[in-house]
Amino acid sequence: MMKPVVRKGPIAAALIALASHAQAQQSESDDYTRYELLAPDSHKFRILYEVTATTPGASAYYNPIRPGSTASDERVTDRATGKPLKFGVVPGSVAKSGGVSGAPPDTDYIRVELARPVPADGGEGRVLIDKTYEDAKSYYREGDTIVFDRPLGVKRNAVVLPPGYELVSCNYPAQLLQEADGRIKVAFWNNTPAQAPLVIKARPSSALAVSPSSIANLLEERAHQNREIVYFLNPPETHSFDLYHDYTESRPGVGTYVNIVRAGSAASNPSGRNLDTGQPLKWEIVKGADILKADPHEQGVTADTEAVVFRFDTVKPGTSARLRFSETYTDPDRYKLVGDELVWHRSFGRPLNTVVLPAGWVLTNSSIPGTISQTDDGRIRIEFINPRTDEIDVVITARRRRS
């Protein structure tokens, strides 16, 4: 087991010197936390924290240790290669020098040395931090009932009950999924800007099976899904929009991604990139039977079906690849100008979907709740988080901004 570096003498000085070279503010994305509740009287829970460092050129990532919790059994892994990463425990002053703005000086951080500097132009450094916390204020007993009471700032979370415990209450809307070993998992996506004030209560039960559920193969944890897509709308007269979609491939032996083009749309200008390394991907546009040559398992392929096939290095056991595919779509039926009004109508199946309006357009309608913001160049950005497993049917309208 790799031990954290002790904050003493020349080691701390060296870490401060290293951090001083990284002036850019630390940024991250795609974070997900899995809490595994251990024996109740221990007040301990294991944390598996997946996070993506996104600061261009960064060679380190800082993860805070929450005040009031005692951390132990830390391990850090590079999710792309599956190999361990070097890390150490440092004070907030080091984290602040390393790009964590506002890092409290009395808070400790885990400083992770990334396997490689984060590639520029949207590259990523994916990390898995495995640690155990002891925190009697967050995890305790009330008679024969255990309570996990902890505000969670990360948006995607899962809490796994100890073996033999049934869930009796959860104050936040969540999926309930049974693991192969019989444990109950409570998973959710917090689609609000605030922390989720989570309170879970459970008690011992003799009714829980230790064999997989009969419907386990039909269920998937929505919070752990990591597919996301961003649409950049061009002027509506063109009926076109640029997009990129990201996903992580972890299935051993897979080296191909087939993106079926929706009927009524036409794809052009494809490109692809491995976000872990920054390397470009090979691609080709194919139709009909050639799609099945790339992936014999594709369903509903006809002679007129079109797809963009991306190829990447075959995934090896214990590794994964974070991939980005970019294209331009033209779709007159779903993106058009009606009079002087921009109309966008498209269904979204991914949990995270973002639409960026053309420059100079004012948002007037959005049929599905979304988070509104502005891009650096002043365009309106609408982010739709769908914590459910079904599709959302999104209609957006906008009008030109008058000077």
Residue that is last in its domain, among 222, 251, 281 = 222
What average pLDDT does this structure show over 116-132?
A: 93
Residue 9 forms part of a structural domain: no
> In the prediction, which pLDDT does 295 show?
87
> In the prediction, which pLDDT does 154 show?
95
Residue that is last in its domain, among 171, 188, 222 = 222
**Residues whose CB is less than 8 angstroms from the CB of residue 178 and which lie 6 or more positions away in sequence, other chains included:** 184, 185, 208, 209, 212, 213, 216
For residue 21, pLDDT beyond 50: no
For residue 13, pLDDT beyond 70: no
- CATH number, domain at 76? 2.60.40.1730
> In the prediction, which pLDDT does 208 show?
78
Q: Report how far residue 302's alpha carbon sits from residue 294's, in angstroms, rounded to the nearest whole number.
A: 14
Instruction: Name which of 153-157, 207-211, 296-300, 345-349 the model is least confident about.
Output: 207-211
Same domain? 162 vs 306: no
For residue 5, pLDDT beyond 70: no
Q: Could you tell me the pLDDT band of residue 9, with boundaries at 50, 70 and 90?
A: very low
Q: Where are the beta strands (DSSP E) in 300-360?
A: 306-311, 321-330, 335-338, 341-348, 352-356
For residue 20, pLDDT beyond 50: no
Domain that holds residue 323: 228-400
Q: pLDDT (tens digit, 9 = 90+) per residue, 350-393?
A: 999 999 999 999 999 999 999 999 999 999 999 999 999 999 99
Q: pLDDT (tens digit, 9 = 90+) per residue, 229-251?
A: 999 999 999 999 999 999 999 99
Residue 7 forms part of a structural domain: no
Torsion angles phi and psi, residue 192, rounded to 5: -110, 165
Residue 15 forms part of a structural domain: no
Residue 297 forms part of a structural domain: yes
CB 29 within 8 A of CB 125: no
Q: pLDDT (tens digit, 9 = 90+) per residue, 66-95?
A: 888 888 999 999 999 999 999 999 999 999
Q: pLDDT (tens digit, 9 = 90+) per residue, 300-315?
A: 899 989 999 999 999 9
Nearest to 40 by CA among 130, 134, 129: 134
Q: Report how far residue 49's alpha carbon sits from residue 58's, in angstroms, rounded to the nearest whole number.
A: 19
> In the prediction, which pLDDT does 1 show?
36
- The mean of the pLDDT values for the chain is 91
